[in-house]
Structure 1
Amino acid sequence: MKALRFHSAKDLRIDEIETPPDPGPGEVRVENRFAGICGTDLHEYAYGPIFVPREPHSFTGASSPQVLGHEFGGVVTAVGRGVENAREGDRVSIQPLVMPRTGDYYAARGLFHLSSELALVGLSWNHGGMSEAALVNDYNVFVIDDGMTDRQAALVEPTAVAVYACDRGGVAAGNSVLVTGAGPIGILALLAARASGASQLFVSDVNDKRLDLASEAVPGVVTINPAASDVGDTLREATEGHVGCDVAIECAGSEHALKACLDSVRKQGVVVQTGLHPGENPLNWFDVTFKDVDIRGSWAYPTHYWPRVARLITSGQVPAEMIVTRTVSLSNAIEQGFDALLDPTGDQLKILIDLSQ
């Protein structure tokens, strides 16, 4: 079968690889339908390996070349012995986190996403979504109903990241929320904040095209280009008491964006760091203390979020498909997908790969 594999930085290939074998105990084989290209995939392509292990992964044994794709869904074609949560013919969305289920401090507490042995399907597992089929664990498979489309099934994963970021920030009805970074996660965070009841939404980005896309996806959001306007001043001018926003969610992985969040949030507000930073970030810790703020990390999502996030999507409360700007075939995914998203002047946001083409 065909698969898009990471070999090294700037070296992605459409390879012919073996079809996954019949599933063993606790395993499920899936015929993939749609896979999303994530910012993490782009970073691997541009600068990797980052999450793709250089040596065999300590838990899964996976190593490069790696089939990419951790945002995907499909149809179950076979199940192994002991699998009770899915059967052949079920349409599914894949929760890609792989980790020890027992004998781990965090697993014992249901915090599987915090395991030190964590791996991801499509980054540190022998299979991924950017291929015609994948073999996964039964706990990676969530059956979806007729209310969810195959395209939406591939969007549960990034939406879960955004929903968890809002939960980490404690976003509540009537809140004012700033999101820095109008990429897919940033726009999904805006949609999730709105679904949580936020009444004032702001988004900042240096790319005006992405700000326009944010306005289309989230009507009424106030867009700010920090190259033209000071983010903190804009927030203070627009919020009650001119004190700044209740919650600021950083989704850009940018030093300047995080500083803008700290400047923009009110005293005793919350800053949530969602974007992955490439290195250390000097922050004004006097302001952290003086403003009495909380700074919280937001890593991935608890695995039990899947049904909740699927309901948010199918109900229309978080219309995740609004972020999709293009669909490509697997054979065209490198040039029309990865390269298009890495173009700093491009107008693409989220690109899905249609594995049936």
Structure 2
Amino acid sequence: MRALRFHGVKDLRVEDVPPPDRPGPDDVVLKTAWCGICGTDLHEYLAGPIFIPTTTDPFTGAKAPQILGHEFSGRVLAVGSNVTSVRAGDRVAVQPLVAPPDDFYARRGQGQLSARLGMVGLNWPWGGFGEQAIVREPNVAKLPDEVSDEQGAMIEPAAVVVHAVDKGRVQAGSTVLITGAGPIGALAALAASAAGATRIIVSETNPLRRERIMELGVVDDAVDPEAPDAAARIAAQTEAGQGVDVAIECVGHAGALDTCIRNVRKRGTIVQVGLSVAPGMVDVSMLVTKDITLEGSWCYPLTLWPRTISLVAAGKMPVEKILSDRVGLDEAVGRGFEVLTRPGAGKLKILVSAAG
């Protein structure tokens, strides 16, 4: 079968690799449908290996060269003897996290926090940028007819922001600021709207992305944080000019976190979703004197898939609105990775088909 594998910095190759063997008792073999290019994939492409192991992972057995891709949907080809939740022919979305069952956090239902966490498409022998993949039964969730294969490939990043919105306690009537209008910021806007937020403001330096996020139909304003009137413009859209109830930081930059601190109201909540590549300075005094709650948000609970799928199926979270392009496996680098890593790019989510 053909697969896109990571060999090193800016070295992704479409190669012929052996297809999956017969599934083990708890395994599911998939024919992949669509797989999204994630920001994590882009970081590996530009600066990896970061999460990809260069020596054999003691838990998963994975080692570079690695088939990339963890945001994907597919159709079940075969199942192991112990598998009961899906059968051959079912369409599924993949939940890519694999935690050791004996881990401290896994035993508490928080396997996403395991230090030995495996992730399909990063440190698991299989990934979504291949024609087929093997995953464990807990890693698949059946898709209803109302959810397309393309939407199914976006359940993973959607779950990230549903978790973040939960942690921010967004509710009916909330005012929300989102920093960053990339794929996660755009999905966060959709999730906040689904949770009942009545005003959503996005802070983004890229003018193309500011235009793009307004097209979602749920964002009330897109502000350039470098504009001199940015803070006043945000405040003017909140009750008594006091600031937003919740800020969701989706950039991973100290400047974006500072924007959240300055624009959230006293006793408001900030949820940090974006991963920073370097330490940064923030105004801790303002964080304290405004009595702000700062929440970290890492991945998602491993049980969040049914709820996220139901939001998409009901039309409450139209994830397809962030889709910018669809490409085949041979075009994944030139029309996918290269486009998304280009400075000032306005594209959001690009899906790859291993069959094309």
Residue deviations 1:122-160, cap 9 Å, x none? 011000000100011111011112111111110100000
Report the equivalent of 2:183.
184
Residue correspondences, number: 356
> Equivalent pairs: percent with the same residue?
46
- Residue pairs, 1:151-170, within 5 angstroms: 151-170=150-169
Report the equivalent of 2:3.
3
> Quick check: 2:193–2:218 contact (8 Å CA) kept in 1?
no
- Residue pairs, 1:274-293, within 5 angstroms: 274-293=273-292
1:14 aligns with 2:14: yes
> Quick check: 1:59–1:99 contact (8 Å CA) kept in 2?
no
Equivalent residue of 2:332, what SS? helix
**Aligned residue type for 1:192:** A
Report the equivalent of 1:97.
97
Report the equivalent of 2:147.
148
- Residue pairs, 1:136-285, within 5 angstroms: 136-285=135-284
Report the equivalent of 2:88.
88
> Quick check: 2:56–2:63 contact (8 Å CA) kept in 1?
yes
Q: What is the root-mean-square deviation of aligned Cα atoms in Å?
A: 1.1
Report the equivalent of 1:66.
66
**Aligned residue type for 1:31:** K
Instruction: Tell me by how many angstroms 1:220 deviates.
Output: 4.4
Equivalent residue of 1:238, what SS? coil
Instruction: Tell me by how many angstroms 1:168 deviates.
Output: 0.8
Q: 1:95 to 1:267 in 2, by over 3 A?
A: same
Distance 1:161 1:345 in 2: 24
Structure 1 unmatched ranges of 5 or more: none
Report the equivalent of 1:29.
29
Distance 2:228 2:18 in 1: 53
Distance 1:55 1:231 in 2: 48
Distance 1:220 1:351 in 2: 21
Residue deviations 1:260-280, cap 9 Å, x none? 011111110001100010121
Instruction: Tell me by how many angstroms 1:295 deviates.
Output: 0.6
> Quick check: 2:2–2:354 contact (8 Å CA) kept in 1?
no
**Aligned residue type for 1:215:** M
Residue deviations 1:236-283, cap 9 Å, x none? 222101111000000011121111011111110001100010121211
Distance 1:169 1:227 in 2: 25
> Quick check: 1:232–1:244 contact (8 Å CA) kept in 2?
no
Equivalent residue of 1:13, what SS? strand
Distance 1:180 1:220 in 2: 12
Report the equivalent of 1:48.
48
Equivalent residue of 1:304, what SS? coil
Q: 1:267 to 1:355 in 2, by over 3 A?
A: same
Report the equivalent of 2:79.
79
Distance 2:138 2:152 in 1: 16
TM-score normalised by L of structure 2: 0.98
Distance 1:264 1:57 in 2: 43
Distance 1:226 1:3 in 2: 40
**Aligned residue type for 2:36:** G
Distance 1:223 1:67 in 2: 37
Instruction: Tell me by how many angstroms 1:230 deviates.
Output: 4.6
> Quick check: 1:191–1:218 contact (8 Å CA) kept in 2?
no
**Aligned residue type for 2:266:** K
Report the equivalent of 2:120.
121
TM-score normalised by L of structure 1: 0.98
Residue deviations 1:329-351, cap 9 Å, x none? 01110000000111113331100
> Quick check: 2:213–2:219 contact (8 Å CA) kept in 1?
no
Structure 2 unmatched ranges of 5 or more: none
Equivalent residue of 1:136, what SS? strand
